[in-house]
Each structure stands twice: as C-alpha cells, then as structure tokens.
Structure 1
Amino acid sequence: MALTLVQHFRHFRPGPSSSSSSSSSSSTSFSFPFPFTALFPLNKPNSAKPPRLFIFRPLSSKRSAYATAATDDKSLSFTADYLVQSCGLTPAAAAAASQRVQFSTPEKPDSVLALLRSHGFSNAQISKLVNRRPSLLLATPESSLLPKLEFFYSIGVSRSELAKILSRDPTPLCRSLQNQILPSYEFLLGFLESDKKIISAMRRTSWVFLLDYTKNLAPNMEHLSKLGVPKSCLSLLFAHFPEALLKSHEEFVENAREVVEMGFDLKKTVFVLAVHVISGKGNRAIMERCKEVYARWGWSEDDIKVAFRKHPNCMILSEKKIDRTMEYLVNEMKLPARRISQCPAILFFSLEKRIIPRCEVIKVLLKKGLLKRDFSLSTFLLPPEERFLDRFVEGYQEEAPELMSVLRRKRDSTEAQ
C-alpha cells in the first residue's frame, strides 16, 4: 500500500473507490475494483464552446515585422545555446529541440534542472530527458514536477531507479497527477495488489501509468479471466510483460486462442508466458529466427514444439546466446542436441558462471566412472547452488576431493575472460 503521501493525494481523487473489497477475493474469476467509467469516461458529453474569434491586426510597418522576427531568432538562439551548455545536448539535438520550446531567460529552466539534480538525476539522464521532452524545462518545479516525483517515491520507487525510468521516458512528468497518474495507480493496485508488482510493471514500461485502461487492457484481462486463467497468472503477465496485454483486443483474443489450441494449461504460468511470446510482429519474427537456429543444431519440429511447451521464452532468445550454449553442450560435452530440447530452461543460464563450471565437475565424475553417461541435464544444471554442491561436490568428497577446486578454478577463469 502506498505511504501517507499517496493517501493525501487520494483525497483529491475523482470518484469513489472500492478496491479493497474486490482485490482481496481469492476466486479465480477477476472482477475490477471500481467502475472504469468513473475514471475514464468512454463518451464525454460535448460541452458548448464559444465561437473562436480570429482577430487580424495589420502590421503598422515592415519595421515591426523585422523586430518580431529578430526577437524570435534571439530566443531561438538563446534556447539552443542553453540546451548545449546547460543540458548537454549536441548542437544538432539542441537545434531540433529549440523548435519545440523557446525561452529567452534561464530562470525557469535553471529551476527545473536544479530540482532534477537535487533528486539524483545525473547529467547524462538530464540530457536524455530534456532531449525527449524539452517542454519540461518550462514546467513549474514545485507545483508540477515535485508532487509527481514524491508520489513515485511514496510507492517505493527509489531515487536512482526513478531517474533511470523517467530519463528513458519522461512522459509521466507531462501528465496530470490527479487525473491520470493517481487513477492509473488505483487501477494497478486493485489488480496487482502490491506496490512492488506495480513498480515491476513500471520498470518494463512507464506507459502503465498513462493508458486508457478501458480500451484494451481491461477487456484483455477480462477475456483471460473468463477463459479460466487464475489471477496469479494474470498478475505475473501484467507485472513482467505488460506489453502483451496492451495489444488491441482483437489481436489479443486471437493470440489467446492460438495458445489454447497449442494445448497449454490455462491454470499454469506457462500459458501466459506463451501469450507473451507470440504477441506482436517483433516477437514472432524472433521466434522464426530461433526455430531456424535450433533446426541448424538438429532439432526436429517436434523437438521445437516440446521446448516451446516447456519454456516458451526459449523461442525469443538471441541467436548468439543459443549458438554459444549449444556449441558448448553439443561439441564440448558431446550431448545429443535433442536432450537440450527436453530441458530448455538451461539455455537461459550463464555459460561462464553456471553451465561451464558445473559441467567441468560432471566431466571429472564421468572420467572416474562415478556418473553414468545418460545423466539428466536437469539434475545438475537446474538445482540451486547449495543443492548442486551437496549432491555433486560434497557427495563425492572421498572419491574426488578435487571437485571444489575444479569448480572454483573454472569459475575464476571464465569470469576473467
């Protein structure tokens, strides 16, 4: 739950909220904690607007036109110089940014930069932020920017992390705290149930605080809920892969249908992971490249399907990562490529810190005849470090006392490379 500051902000929140009662439900079906229309009206009534008046003032002389142009040029030049000297932009970036914002005195932008620096933004981060949203230099620090920073601190975002997030995408600083950020937070809290998960989603994309949830996100989550996907799985998908849920509703329904037809269990996290993997043209293109790489290493179509069913994310790994791991396991360890498809999780492990050091231990055990050749990869690569040491190092202390030094030496050598 947010801290006192957030509770203070809630006093100004439009509309009632009843997130506490609905978010505590333990049933599989997901119900939303408050009516969306209270926060995000779908159909806003047209308000009567006064007719726009266009007043044409003829220039008294060519001289006044020249004076106006000279003033504009001066402001433009001052802005560009300021962006280079005070914000660290390149001359080209400053010239482009000065077309979007102009000022002729340094007082207001200086106050914005002072606020950002006092809250831990580095010069490089300020440069990125200003380059992306130069209009923020004309914001009022105390009344506009500071309350938003304090809100994010109040839900647990550290200063260093917030600076990193906002320099990557400063859009939240341009939106209304009361009308956009706080209602978004209420929605997220009602669904994810903890600030920690909200922060996790924010790390993936700050747009979780900027969306109209009635458009795609809420309908997409409701669709999965109706299919029988548990709320815990929905929370995992939203906390770690929110971009999958932000697809258009039509595309998302089709993606979910495709995963259901593949035979994935709706009650397990692997289902929502598969939904994430096949979401979007980018992921699908990566999938096709991964299939080609696995095929080069001898995987059949059935092997690829088995691996995808066990760990969907193995289909969006980088080609380099796949090749390096397969190269070592197949060529160095002499393992059949198909055996790796039975345990695709090992493809995510560090080659230097985990796979090679542990495999060196296995080599010693094989050479001494203490381990059979048909050992399972999952038995020594998947367990946590303590369990691995207990079974494969300390368990053979009498027969192979050198195992611990082999493990440490190999780790030191691979990490130093």
Structure 2
Amino acid sequence: MLHRRRYVHTRIMSSPSASPSSSPHCHSSTAAAVPPNSASPAFAVEDYLVATCGLSRAQALKASTKISHLKSPSKPDAAIAYLAGLGLSRSEITAVVAKDPKFLCISVERTLDPIFVGLTDIGLTRSDIACLVSFARGSFRCKSVVSRVHYYLQLFGSFENFLLPLKRSSYLLGSDLETTVKPNVALLQECGLGASDIAKLCTRLPGILSSKLERVQAMVACAEGLGVPRGSAMFRTALHAVAFLSEEKLAAKIEHLKNTLGWSDAEVGIAVYKAPMLLTGSKDRIERASKFLISEVGLEPAYLADRPAMLSYSLEGRLRPRYYVVKFLKENGLIHHDRDFYAAVKATEKVFMEKYISPHREVAKHLAEDYAAACTGEGLTNFTFG
C-alpha cells in the first residue's frame, strides 16, 4: 500500500503539468520573482483559472468565489498534475474544474492518493478513474467515494454499467448508502426486481436510488394503482412510467388518453396495464398516431386499447410506411385481406422485410425501394409493380 502511494505521488509530480514553470501564472507569483524582504503578491485566483485551467473569464469569475481562500498555486498545481497523470486532456481538466472548482483545493497526498489506491484495489483502471473524476463532481473529493463505487459495482455488475446512470446523475455518488440508497434498493427488491431489473431501471432513472424512501414508496404505490402487481413482468416498466409524476399530472395524462381515443375507463385501464409507457408519450405524438390509426387505417378504439403498443411506434418511420405496404399487398392479392395490421407493425424490421417485402420481389420489384422511400417521408402512395 505504501509503495503504491509513493508511486502515485511520484507519477503525479513527474507530470509536465506539475512543474511550476508550466503555469503561465507562476512566472508572476513565485517567490523567486519577488525581491528579498518584499511582501509576496496576492494569488490571483481568477487569473489562474483562466490561464492555467482554461476557463473562460465568466466561468472563472463564478468559480473563483468558491476557492477565494487559496493563497498560492501549490495545491491547484498538484491537483491539475494529478488529473493530467490520470490521462485527462486539457479540455477535460477544464471541464472538471468548471464543474467542481473545489477540486483544486484537495490535498494530493492526504486525499487523492488514498482514493486512487482504494479505487484500484477494487478493480478500477486508470482510465476508469479518469472517467469517474469527469462525472463524479464534488463526490470524488470524499474518501467515501471508494466504498460507494464498490457498492455500485456489485449492484450494476460492472463499471461500464455503473457509468451509464452516473453520466445522468452525479447524485448517485453523493447519496448516503446506508440511509438512502440501500433502503431504496431493498424496496425495489421487495417489488420483485432483480439486480438486472434495478440496473436497467436506474440507467434511465438514476434519481430513483438517491430519492427519499417515502418518495420511492409513493412511486411503487402509483405503479400498483395502474393495476400492475408487484412481481409481474411489467412492474419495472410501470414504475418507470410513473416515476416522478405527480398525482395531478398522472390524472391529466390518463384523461388525455380517454379524450383522444374515446376510451372508457375500462379501456384506458387495459391499455395502461399493457403499455404503461403510454403515460410518457407526448400529447402530440399520441394524437397524431391515434388519428392515423382510427381515421385512415380504420381501426376501432377498442382494438387499440387491446394493442396499445401501436401508439408508441413512430408514425412516419413505422406506422404509415408499413400500412402502405400492407395495403398495397392486399389490393394486389399478394396477401390475404384478413391479415392483421398489428402483426406487421410489431414485427422487427428484419422480420417485416422477410415476410412482407422479400417474398414479392419478383412481382413487385420496386416494393423495397418504395418502402424505403416511404420511411423517409417520400413517395407514400407510389407503390407500383414492375
């Protein structure tokens, strides 16, 4: 352990950026430039942030208020050398300092070296630590970052998996494990979510782990209120759909679905149960999709309530192009008129091509080309033979 700390410190101090002569500001502030018995000039923090750290004048003005107590560039120089030693570029170092100016106040030997040793001991590489510094903000300045990262590695399965939610919310590393994170994880486990489910949910909604337990309990109750029971395959999706939605907003979204599609209470209940993510769709997208499916395709609202996933597909990129392909094939006797449109909509692109395009290349040679054009919004009715 001692050997590694010495290595870390040596590596940092051997970095070119650790040399005082590399700092433009140091030429005007080092003791060598001051005559004997003269008072040392004040350390110009704002100028240092601009000249050495690469911040804009506006950024430096804002950041300087947080580190105005610094009297010399010794600690900032060492901190910057540490970042350079991890492999961060000048622009990346600038970003770190802009997000967390207090990083420049950390002691390399007392804080950063032990953190580096602890993180490498749990399996992180130098590049992993560099990524962590970039996204962790102030949380990296606390030695507890090691135990927290260790916990998240076990929860998410790998550093790469943990990095995804961390990029969305640095609060993950700032939240207390014992009083906040672990109780929330325990609650999600009680709801039947396994480690992979929790990881997937938190990749999209990292704030669910850093929220107060009472708030997460309210989210769970709201998901159950949609008729989706704990332990069901759809519960994670339902929880995702209602997370951070107030009762008023949730009620408004349900009312909008009823008014737009003409659904009864029972029908909207069926639809939301089968596709909770309907609650996250924009009003405009749902209105345009429902208008097309009901008015042009001729589907009944009850049909859509039983197949609500149709409303989540792109109108321009999926619904309309595939409808014109199916319509063309039916009108020309290439598929049976009773072929369900939903089967064509839910098929993957690969399956759709195999079932609806490829079998008819001989008699409808331009079908693939016309379909591709329709997906870009061109030639929507130009499906032809020959």
Asked whether the two chains share a fold, i.e. TM above 0.5, the reply is: yes
Does structure 1 residue 322 correspond to structure 2 residue 289?
no
Cα 1:276–1:246 change in 2 (3 A) is farther
Return the alpha-carbon distance in structure 1 between the equivalents of residues 230 and 220 of structure 2.
10
Contact 1:307 1:344 in 2 (8 A): yes
Does structure 1 residue 291 correspond to structure 2 residue 258?
no
Alignment counterpart, residue 133 of structure 1, candidates 100, 110, 131: 100
Alignment counterpart, residue 116 of structure 2, candidates 147, 150, 155: 147
Shift of 1:134: 0.9
1:242-391 to 2 correspondences below 5 Å: 242-281=206-245, 287-300=250-263, 301-326=265-290, 328-330=292-294, 333-336=297-300, 338-371=302-335, 375-391=339-355
Amino acid at match of 2:173: F
1:51-90 to 2 correspondences below 5 Å: 74-75=42-43, 78-87=44-53, 89-90=55-56
Shift of 1:323: 4.2
Shift of 1:404: 0.9
Shift of 1:95: 2.3
Does structure 1 residue 119 correspond to structure 2 residue 115?
no
Task: List runs of 5+ in structure 1 lacking aligned partners.
Answer: 10-67
Cα 1:86–1:186 change in 2 (3 A) is closer
Alignment counterpart, residue 66 of structure 2, candidates 100, 125, 129: 100
Cα 1:152–1:244 change in 2 (3 A) is farther
Task: List runs of 5+ in structure 2 lacking aligned partners.
Answer: 6-38, 379-386
Shift of 1:389: 0.9
Residue range with higher mean Cα deviation, 320-329 or 392-401: 320-329
Shift of 1:248: 2.5
Return the alpha-carbon distance in structure 1 between the equivalents of residues 185 and 362 of structure 2.
56
Return the alpha-carbon distance in structure 1 between the equivalents of residues 284 and 90 of structure 2.
33
Return the alpha-carbon distance in structure 1 between the equivalents of residues 125 and 251 of structure 2.
39
Shift of 1:305: 2.3
Contact 2:88 2:130 in 1 (8 A): no
Offset from partner CA, 1:341-389 (integer Å, 9 cap, x none): 4333344444454444433322322432445666545412222222111
- In the alignment of these two chains, the number of paired residues is 339
Q: Secondary structure at the match of 1:297?
A: helix
So what's the TM-score if we normalise by structure 2? 0.68
Shift of 1:137: 2.4
- Please name the residue that 2:151 is paired with: 187
Alignment counterpart, residue 367 of structure 2, candidates 357, 380, 403: 403
Offset from partner CA, 1:80-121 (integer Å, 9 cap, x none): 233345555454443232111134655654554566567355
- Please name the residue that 2:142 is paired with: 175
Cα 1:121–1:311 change in 2 (3 A) is farther
Q: Secondary structure at the match of 1:251?
A: helix
Q: Secondary structure at the match of 2:261?
A: coil
Cα 1:362–1:89 change in 2 (3 A) is farther
Q: Would you identify which runs of 4 or more consecutive aligned residues in structure 1 move more than 6 Å?
A: 156-159
- Please name the residue that 1:58 is paired with: none
> What is the RMSD of the two structures over their aligned residues, measured on CA atoms?
4.2
User: Using CA pairs below 8 Å that are at least 6 residues apart, which structure has the higher relative contact order?
Assistant: 1
Shift of 1:391: 0.8
Contact 1:136 1:174 in 2 (8 A): yes
Return the alpha-carbon distance in structure 2 between the equivalents of residues 407 and 394 of structure 1.
12
Amino acid at match of 1:390: E
Cα 1:224–1:154 change in 2 (3 A) is closer
Q: Secondary structure at the match of 1:269?
A: coil
Amino acid at match of 1:132: K
Shift of 1:261: 4.8
Return the alpha-carbon distance in structure 1 between the equivalents of residues 49 and 117 of structure 2.
24
Return the alpha-carbon distance in structure 1 between the equivalents of residues 376 and 368 of structure 2.
12
Residue range with higher mean Cα deviation, 339-348 or 392-401: 339-348
Alignment counterpart, residue 163 of structure 2, candidates 199, 203, 213: 199
Amino acid at match of 1:119: G
Shift of 1:221: 3.2
Cα 1:169–1:196 change in 2 (3 A) is closer
Return the alpha-carbon distance in structure 2 between the equivalents of residues 127 and 87 of structure 1.
5
> Percent same amino acid among aligned pairs?
21
Shift of 1:315: 0.7
Contact 2:103 2:138 in 1 (8 A): no
Residue range with higher mean Cα deviation, 301-310 or 369-378: 369-378
